[in-house]
Structure 1
Amino acid sequence: MDRKEFRDLASPAEAREAIDSLSLTAGVERVPLEEARGRVLVARLDAELDVPGFDRASLDGYALRARDTFGADEADPARLEVVGEVHAGEEPDVELEEGQAAEISTGAVMPDGADAMVPVERTDTAADGGEVLVRTSVAPGDNVMFAGADVAAGERALGPGTRITPRDIGLLSALGVDEVPVRGRPRVGIVSTGDELVRPGEDVDSDRGEIYDVNSYTIAAGVEDAGGEAVLYPHAGDEQDEMERILREAAEECDLVLSSGSTSASAVDVIYRVIEEQGELLLHGVAVKPGKPMLVGRLADSAYVGLPGYPVSAMMVFRTFVAPAIREAAGLPEPKAATVTGEMAREERYSEGRMRLMPVGLVEDGEGDTLVYPVDKGSGATTSLAEADGVVEVPPETDYLEEGESVDVQLFSPDVRPPTLLGVGEDDPTLNRLLDRLANPRYLSVGSRPALRRLREGVPDVAVVAGPVDREVDAVELGRWEREWGLIARAGNPKEIEGLEDLIDRDLRFVNRTTDSGLRTSLGAAVADLAAERGVDRRDLVDAIDGFDLGLRAHESPARKVIAGDADAGLGLRETAERLDLDFVPVGTQPVRVVANPDRTDKAGVRDLERVLADADEVATE
């Protein structure tokens, strides 16, 4: 199969024009009142009755004729005969004449003959109970809500284009409306492509390269948030006939079809061929990063947009180009722009000639000013957006953003706030429990070496460092604890591993941590000591360990390789081995230190962390 090449990439403006040309619409529907919140009215609603539909008492007290109270005061109260009671929800069975009053409840119908009421607090009951003493004078209409005072029959209640709120639901309920004409929600079919995809909840076979389907659920949430109705379809494999069948089914049932994956220039990515042959392909490729392999077209009577397969790319393209079209079709206004201005925490280089949608995080410095730092693990990393607060649009002609340069951040939502604490560094179970005691911290597990580099650049508030380090930075230590490290083996230690010597002298499969990890550094130091004892070169021992250069990022990852049978031993912590019911061969201990940016030691989040670190030794043994 021939490979599709991206020759002339469309500009972002041209991509928006192509999507606008699809004329996405959703029609009109009538929905029950209980389902109307958040929907958009398509027609004016007028009141068909008065609200309230009767003259009613505004307070608990006595209904009476106002003129019977004229001149009454504390010293000379009016004395009225009590001739009955009126309760809410009951038809009055009394008619007042001169000198008479009726006890009445809030919301009750005013009896005939009454034109005002007096609150119970301004009255006294006569000794015989048959009369009431009114200690104030009232005017006609006092403390009475007359029929139609809230909404009068024939009056405009709500106009077209109103997005129905809980307050509007209350008004419509008062008018007796049980069904509302609203703008339809565009039905959006979502099809993820790729033979490797598995629905969450099902088992994945990592040996076959299977992964969980992230895009279907992430995009569906975005569709619902934009006012659409998401419809999930079975994921399509990479075979063209199957892909065509599922896409056509979605196109027949939905106003818009969104696919993810199979849009790039790879020879096996064939979805653009389906659109070309079965519909109309308007656009293939946009000058934006991430998101270049984007498709826009029509399939049957449905609009179609093909999103990239990588989760970050898919969501950035959806948010920038597709969500506005869904909101417009649903009659929803563009959300109020939520932007903040901050300064780049460090220099960021970029020179690809495409507009860049750069996910960024926010952190406040010691003065309370907002700093902005890139959060970019690559388009295939699902955590990039979860760890980001918003997006900076970098123009295509920009080569780099300087440290301290002012940038505008489009927040993912108006309620986004910087974390109370930004920490980076070693992956550690004790640290996780300490962070659980703080309010809204953010921690990026990058390893000890990158943590010190980022602290030196002035980005995070604190860095967490384990084991020996090559180069210290200017920082204030907030606390520390010890952790025991060694080799993790299968339960029962069937290979009878006793120490590092076994990895060197025997045919054992080993899984290491990445070079950024403090555990890897301590292991390297231990191997160097052993080499010195044997009088050999350290590299000779490293080369003798099968798997020494295979490094995994997280502290549990080597242990899970052991569980899966892919390794005989892995580098890890005693706590990890005990939690996973594995054997542990101790090699040494290492300190885990929490160090702070000297300029941020007075920051509230840093002080809170220092407070919980006082319990670090206790937490380490939990």
Structure 2
Amino acid sequence: MSDRREFRDLAAPEEARAVVESLDISPGTETVALADARDRVLAERVDAALDVPGFDRASMDGYAVRARDTFGADEATPTTLDLARTVHAGEEPCVTVEPGTAAEISTGAVMPAGADAVVVVERTAETADGVEIRTAVTPGENVMPAGADIAAGARALGPGTRVTPREIGLLSALGVEEVAVRSRPRVGIVSTGDELVRPGEPLNSAAGEIYDVNSYALAAAVEDAGGEPAVYPHAGDDFEALETLLHEAADECDLVLSSGSTSAGAVDVVYRVIEERGDLRLHGVAVKPGKPMLVGTIGESAYVGLPGYPVSALTIFRVFVAPALREAAGLPEPRTATVTGEMAVEERYAEGRLRYMPVGLVEDGAGSTLVYPVDKGSGATTSLVDADGTVAVEPGTERLPAGERVEVTLFSPDVRVPTLFGVGEDDPLWSRLLDRLDAPRYLPTGTADGRRRLRESVPDVAVVAGPEADDEPGEALGGWTREWGLAVAPDSDVSDLAALVDGAARFVNRDGGSGLRHSLDAQLTQLADERGVSPGEVTDAIDGYDLTVGASESPARTVAAGEADAGLALRTMAASLGLQFVPLGTERVRVLANPDRTGKESVERLAGLLGDLGDLAAGLDGFEV
């Protein structure tokens, strides 16, 4: 009578899944060229090393002007300016816009020296005397400033991000040549059975031979799940030969998959190889198809034995092995190409044409999917990674009210909702904190926008800085303080705020929605009160007060580049760029949670991290936790 091993206590699917998940198949990290980074997973955060765009550029066809030269102009009383040379996209301007002049400019062209705004061509008319300006513009109007898309020093992509064509586009815009990624788990594939023949070889059907399906099917499935397949030669049912082949694969791979010879028959030698030479942790699972399943180790390598029938093998692989491979490779679970969710906020739309609205996804406290619009302009590459898909808004739709259910077409089937969605202040310590979370999304749109969106109950958290608002939204999770002031050039005579107001130093400011700007404006208001003048008189005296940039590091970088004498900055930024620093005070950075989502797992994880920030603050001058 043959020696047969019967399945007795079959493992429950949950137990089998837990056993497979307990196997160590993590392969480490490696550095790859950007051209080879598609579908890889970032192992480290990527920060922007330069501004995108790297120059102030026209966002419309028209005329580059000095905004002050257009004040008072309208259709009834146009202003005529002398016409200078034309500036085309892709060329360095060789003209300076002097007072009373304008330069014709193309969309995307570098703004010429002296100009601070663009009048769209539709509101102009060329005459024998020059160009008539039929509307007034303000500084920065129709101009995309350097760093408006993404600013140098900003957090571009976080660890755990899967690199798709969207991320390739952003990394290319940043000039990144190579990136650190998680290595793909190397998976050895061994198909067993005397009856198997590799495709392309002669087949004797009369002798019961069949083509080897599993080697190629499993190799494709491994690659689809983020692994690197290595197909080994076909093995028969000879014990010694199969033992040698399995050990060879185990020495070279993180995981070994075999198919066939896992049932309890007398010729099923794989069972004996694992039992006698490795560690058998599971044999048999209560699932159909796919009951004969082996899980264990061979030396330092993990091992899973799959059934011989292709349908069974692929089913067991998909249900039990693929999730573990994706976890090791850092890939998310796949999902359908469309999802349905509720609009988180109202979106108005008045144009009579089809619109594909970029949207992001977030889960509320009950686990329902909310959909929020993402629109930073068609020229912003960061919109590609801030959005998860699009909603088709049909012509004639005037608005999508909050709460309306919409269908989202995902950019790819493997898009998943971020574990944590936050909006608010740009802060270096917060960027480090985000690295400790799994797959978060953060929009550094400023303190004011963070408060606004939190009041609308869109994000999970908002990060705010500067003076506290009277109606501060949300629940405080924690925070820290940071020293702020002026980053000044080595030869600058700016020694305090009064010297900035009274002197001739060229200044670069933060945008009005940032916490730093609120702190600065509070001190300027106090200075105005001390002098008995209006705040506007004080700000008007600062050359460049209205010259604003979007990221917290941008003013200091502008000073370091010699393009300004002083800039609103944090102490740590001045120190990192070798600039002098004029301290003006400290401000509190606060992390506020959506009251309806304090029980969300990622928010609870964040609250725990906020309780111990000591190591994260190391090396950040002026930060106190």
TM-score (norm 2): 0.52
1:548-559 map, 5 Å: none
Shift of 1:252: 1.5
Q: Is it true that 1:167 corresponds to 2:158 in the alignment?
A: no
Q: Is it true that 1:52 corresponds to 2:53 in the alignment?
A: yes
Partner of 1:16: 17
**Distance in 1, Cα, partners of 2:37 & 2:9:** 45
| Residue deviations 1:379-425 (CA, integer Å, cap 9, x gap) | xxxxxxxxxxxxxxxxxxxxxxxxxxxxxxxxxx979xxxxxxxxxx
**Distance in 1, Cα, partners of 2:187 & 2:338:** 28
**Distance in 2, Cα, partners of 1:82 & 1:234:** 76
Partner of 1:302: 301
**Distance in 2, Cα, partners of 1:273 & 1:281:** 10
What amino acid is the match of 1:213? D
**Distance in 1, Cα, partners of 2:51 & 2:336:** 40
**Distance in 2, Cα, partners of 1:263 & 1:171:** 47
Partner of 1:188: 187
The 1:211/1:37 distance shift into structure 2, 3 A limit, reads same
| Residue deviations 1:190-232 (CA, integer Å, cap 9, x gap) | 1111122122233322122111111112222221222112221
1:89-168 map, 5 Å: 89-127=90-128, 131-168=130-167
Q: Is it true that 1:201 corresponds to 2:206 in the alignment?
A: no
The 1:160/1:414 distance shift into structure 2, 3 A limit, reads closer
**Distance in 2, Cα, partners of 1:145 & 1:338:** 34
Shift of 1:144: 0.5
The 1:143/1:338 distance shift into structure 2, 3 A limit, reads closer
**Distance in 2, Cα, partners of 1:70 & 1:10:** 79
* 3-state SS of paired residue (1:289): coil
**Distance in 1, Cα, partners of 2:151 & 2:183:** 30
1:531-550 map, 5 Å: none
1:233-252 map, 5 Å: 233-252=232-251
**Distance in 2, Cα, partners of 1:80 & 1:323:** 67
| Residue deviations 1:569-617 (CA, integer Å, cap 9, x gap) | xxxxxxxxxxxxxxxxxxxxxxxxxxxxxxxxxxxxxxxxxxxxxxxxx
**Distance in 2, Cα, partners of 1:30 & 1:76:** 62
Partner of 1:548: none
Partner of 1:370: none
**Distance in 2, Cα, partners of 1:178 & 1:45:** 12
| Residue deviations 1:452-472 (CA, integer Å, cap 9, x gap) | xxxxxxxxxxxxxxxxxxxxx
**Distance in 2, Cα, partners of 1:312 & 1:261:** 12
The 1:223/1:244 distance shift into structure 2, 3 A limit, reads same
What amino acid is the match of 2:190? V
Shift of 1:155: 1.3
Partner of 2:29: 28
Q: Which runs of 5+ in 2 are unaligned?
A: 340-411, 415-625
Root mean square deviation of aligned Cα = 2.3
Partner of 1:289: 288
| Residue deviations 1:144-191 (CA, integer Å, cap 9, x gap) | 111111212111111222222332222211111121212221111111
* 3-state SS of paired residue (1:200): coil
1:349-428 map, 5 Å: none
What amino acid is the match of 2:16? A
- Equivalent pairs counted in the alignment come to 341
Matched residues, percent identical? 72
* 3-state SS of paired residue (2:176): coil
**Distance in 2, Cα, partners of 1:195 & 1:150:** 61
**Distance in 1, Cα, partners of 2:337 & 2:276:** 41
What amino acid is the match of 2:115? A
**Distance in 1, Cα, partners of 2:277 & 2:258:** 15
**Distance in 1, Cα, partners of 2:252 & 2:90:** 49
* 3-state SS of paired residue (1:121): helix
The 1:203/1:60 distance shift into structure 2, 3 A limit, reads farther
Partner of 1:527: none
Shift of 1:337: 7.7
The 1:118/1:203 distance shift into structure 2, 3 A limit, reads farther
Q: Is it true that 1:269 corresponds to 2:271 in the alignment?
A: no
* 3-state SS of paired residue (1:282): strand
Q: Could you list the runs of 4 or more consecutive aligned residues of structure 1 that deviate by over 4 angstroms after TM superposition?
A: 337-340
Q: Is it true that 1:221 corresponds to 2:220 in the alignment?
A: yes
Shift of 1:284: 1.6
**Distance in 2, Cα, partners of 1:81 & 1:242:** 89
**Distance in 2, Cα, partners of 1:140 & 1:313:** 67
The 1:68/1:164 distance shift into structure 2, 3 A limit, reads same
**Distance in 2, Cα, partners of 1:141 & 1:267:** 81
**Distance in 2, Cα, partners of 1:9 & 1:97:** 85
* 3-state SS of paired residue (1:13): helix
**Distance in 2, Cα, partners of 1:414 & 1:121:** 43
**Distance in 2, Cα, partners of 1:300 & 1:160:** 31
* 3-state SS of paired residue (1:283): strand
1:573-584 map, 5 Å: none
| Residue deviations 1:532-574 (CA, integer Å, cap 9, x gap) | xxxxxxxxxxxxxxxxxxxxxxxxxxxxxxxxxxxxxxxxxxx
Partner of 1:81: 82
What amino acid is the match of 2:213? V
Q: Is it true that 1:315 corresponds to 2:314 in the alignment?
A: yes
The 1:414/1:68 distance shift into structure 2, 3 A limit, reads closer
Shift of 1:338: 9.7
* 3-state SS of paired residue (2:86): strand
The 1:106/1:132 distance shift into structure 2, 3 A limit, reads same
**Distance in 2, Cα, partners of 1:311 & 1:208:** 20
Shift of 1:87: 1.9
**Distance in 1, Cα, partners of 2:80 & 2:42:** 54
